[in-house]
Amino acid sequence: MIRIDDLVIFIRVTSLDSFSAVGREMDLLPSQISASIKRLERELDIRLFARSTRSLRLTAEGEQYLPYARAVVDSLNEGKACFQQTDKNLKGMLQIACSSDFGRNVLLPWLIEFRQKHPSLALRLSLSDQVADIYRDPVDVAVRYGMIPEADFVSLPLLPMNRRTLAAAPSYLEKYGRPTSIEELNAHPCLRFQLNGKLYDRWTFPKDGDHQSVCVTGPVISDDADVIRRCAIAGEGILYKSWLDICQDVRAGHLEVLLPEQPGELFPLHFICPHRKQFSPSVRSLYTYLRSRCESLTGTQTKSSRSIM
């Protein structure tokens, strides 16, 4: 008889291409993963993987069997979710991926509050400015900025009209003064973000139905967005960042909005789930909660920042 656990392991191995990686993820030894695959192969009387000391790939039979294995596991998860819908106490593990700055300074307090309301729920939070692969990584939900291309996953809006915002610390403005136009930014020290070797030193703004870009320079470059925000608060330069990330700093007086009449680039926040069938009661409840918190956080903007949203 085929074991459901073996099907789950088979599916994860096809995603990670490694017995060791799946073992680490599931807290099992590589030998246990190997034994699971061999057991499934005996039950099916086929070879699922072509294995060597250096490579692991699906056989033609394995590729043919994979969608059936996924359908079985998805069907069981869907059935389990139907019973859980009547349970007010959310249970299980939610695996969430998010960018570093928003995740650490905004999302984390919300998640702590959400989990305290549902003490039977466990959370695994992955913070990185690298974009999570929601198909290969162990992720139930990704909270992601930017324009999302059409894809097979489920993408729901959390804050669709969020924009990037120019801001600087009062200490910086006292020392260097305020830019009076976009063009003047290239004469100011600006704080730049780098990701996957690409330096984001060209800032874009909507203007007259089109867009205008300016190339900026400055004393600090980092691949961690939280570092950029902290350097701005310390007076190191001007940042161009999501309003959702900095709105609390603006209200606290740590940062001031620059060029408030100039709207920033649209930078919506999305709630992403790999598949609609994975939209469990816990995921649905988290989405409703996060959307409410995003709207409440940005719904009481200061007068100086209203024009940018």
The domain spans of the chain are 4-84, 92-158+268-301, 164-257
pLDDT at 303 over 60: no
Quote the pLDDT of residue 89. Answer: 72
Q: Which architecture, in CATH terms, is 92-158+268-301?
A: 3-Layer(aba) Sandwich (3.40)
Q: Confidence band (pLDDT; 50, 70, 90) for 131? A: low
Q: Comparing C-alpha atoms, which of 185, 197, 204, 186 is closest to residue 146?
A: 204
Q: Do domains 4-84 and 164-257 have the same CATH topology?
A: no
Helix extents (H) in the chain? 4-16, 19-26, 30-44, 60-84, 100-102, 108-117, 170-176, 225-233, 243-251, 281-298
Mean local confidence (pLDDT), 92-114? 90
Quote the pLDDT of residue 86. Answer: 46
Place of tokens 């085929």: 2
pLDDT at 304 over 50: no
* Mean pLDDT lowest among 4-18, 123-137, 222-236, 261-275: 123-137
How many Å is the Cα radius of gyration of the chain?
23
Distance of CA 192 to the CA centre of its chain: 20
Q: Confidence band (pLDDT; 50, 70, 90) for 80? A: low
Q: Comparing C-alpha atoms, which of 221, 220, 204 is closest to residue 212?
A: 204
Q: What percent of the chain has pLDDT over 70?
A: 86
DSSP state of 305: G
Q: Which residue has the higher pLDDT, 298 or 267?
A: 267
The third-level CATH classification (topology) of the domain covering 4-84 is Arc Repressor Mutant, subunit A (1.10.10)
SS3 of residue 142 by DSSP: strand
The CA angle 274-102-210, to the nearest 5 degrees, is 85
Count of beta carbons in the 10 Å neighbourhood of residue 135 = 12
Structure tokens at 288: 């409703």
Q: Comparing C-alpha atoms, which of 102, 222, 239 is closest to residue 166?
A: 239
pTM higher than 0.75 = no
pLDDT at 126 over 70: yes
**CATH class as words, domain 164-257:** alpha beta
At 10-62, the pLDDT tens digits run 998 988 888 888 988 888 998 999 999 999 999 999 999 988 777 888 999 99
Q: What's the CA gap between 64 and 5, in Å, rounded?
A: 19
Residues in the chain, overall count: 309
